[in-house]
Amino acid sequence: MDHIILRGGQPLRGQIPIAGAKNACLALMPATLLSDEPLTLTNAPRLSDIVTMTQLLESLGTEVSSLQNGKTLVMSSHAMTSVQADYDIVRKMRASNLVLGPLLARHGQAIVSLPGGCAIGARPMDIHITALEALGAEIELKDGYLHAVARNGLRGARVPLRFASVGATENVLMAATLAKGTTIIENAAREPEIVDLADCLRKMGAQIEGDGTSTITIQGVDRLHGATHQVVTDRIELGTYMLAPVIVGGEVECLGGRLALVESFVEHLHAAGIDVTETAHGLKVSCAGDRPRAVNVTTQPFPGFPTDLQAQMMAMLCTADGTSVLEETIFENRFMHAPELIRMGARIEVQGGTATVHGVARMKGAPVMATDLRASVSLILAGLGAEGETIVNRVYHLDRGYEHVEDKLRAVGAQIERVHGS
């Protein structure tokens, strides 16, 4: 099994290109199921999750071509052979459930295994099910599979979400594009990935208004056509690399970054005394090497602080000046990186959904183990600033969400290498 070795303490200087958003691309890819014409995605990230979604779509009969070394995906669902998403594929990644809405909308039926993914809480499917039932679907759980059918097709309806779930918003948004009549999603998620999906669907002929707000209105159409769409910049990868020079010192420009994607995150960096400036090509973060100030963080749906940056922020706050409190309100069980950071000398106390971090002057390298995707990169960030050698094990999580992380960090001066296991 692969592991990553870091030797900390080297300031970082240079540019890091930020890839297309994993979470956006994973929602955009199932949109091909809504049309029999090709959908082309550019700026696609080259990640194992994208490979898994490709395998899932191909198992349904979609033809997928990977061009430009994987950065362009051309998909065609003109000859579907199945409406069943099997457990062996779906268990690897929670975003697999995003085929449910498109299959129902175009084919009137779907059989989708309950999903898997990182072990960061239950993340139940009930919001998705209730929302699609409001559009006229009949859904029952049998032998670990959701069996869904829309006997007379989907019909527009008012769909109030009890929680602003990104996945449920995406599933309903895609399903409603081919439903008869008007659908209004209330308490919709507002994330940039939702806006990106809506932009793509509009290029395919969908009639959508209000994306980026809590109320989205979709007027169903008879069919969607093909389109070409560029995947939005990955705001989580952006925030991750912005923290690297904060932890170890230096100046890094994240190419492709935009303040609009990470406003709440940047506000917290400013509060910690970190200089962030927008350039012609992205966002630049400068840190003279002084310890950042402690800040409190509460994760919230967009436009609040992203839960997917909580672990990375904790890694930075481990060496901040003062005591910080992080409150996780989105997912339970998402402080599994804390014990590993403690192995490196961090002072962290966890009680339920709250972690209290007492900053130390510097951490020390140690063997640590990644427990999920964001936890894995938080340990790499911690290792950048730690004294001595850090070995991060179980980095297969990392490859689900970060492409060529060692190359990107090495290019700006980090001492990092991947050791391939058997």
Tokens standing for residue 23: 């979470």
Distance CA 230, CA 20 (A): 8
Phi-psi region of 286 (alpha: psi -120 to 50; beta: other; left: phi over 0): beta
Phi-psi region of 344 (alpha: psi -120 to 50; beta: other; left: phi over 0): alpha
The answer on whether 284 is annotated among ligand-binding residues is no
The answer on whether 23 is annotated among ligand-binding residues is yes
* DSSP H or E stretch at residue 13: strand 12-17
Catalytic option among 25, 118, 200, 287: 118
Bridge pairing between strands 354-358 and 347-351: antiparallel
The answer on whether 94 is annotated among ligand-binding residues is yes
Which among 52, 45, 39 is positioned nearest to 20, based on CA atoms?
45
Phi-psi region of 39 (alpha: psi -120 to 50; beta: other; left: phi over 0): beta
Tokens standing for residue 378: 């938080």
Which among 38, 90, 45 is positioned nearest to 62, based on CA atoms?
38
Known catalytic residue at 118: yes
Helix (H, G, I), strand (E, B) or coil at 111: strand
Tokens standing for residue 204: 């395919």
Which residues belong to the active site?
Answer: 118
- Binding positions for phosphoenolpyruvate: 22-23
- Binding positions: 22-23, 94, 308, 330
- Binding positions for UDP-N-acetyl-alpha-D-glucosamine: 94, 308, 330
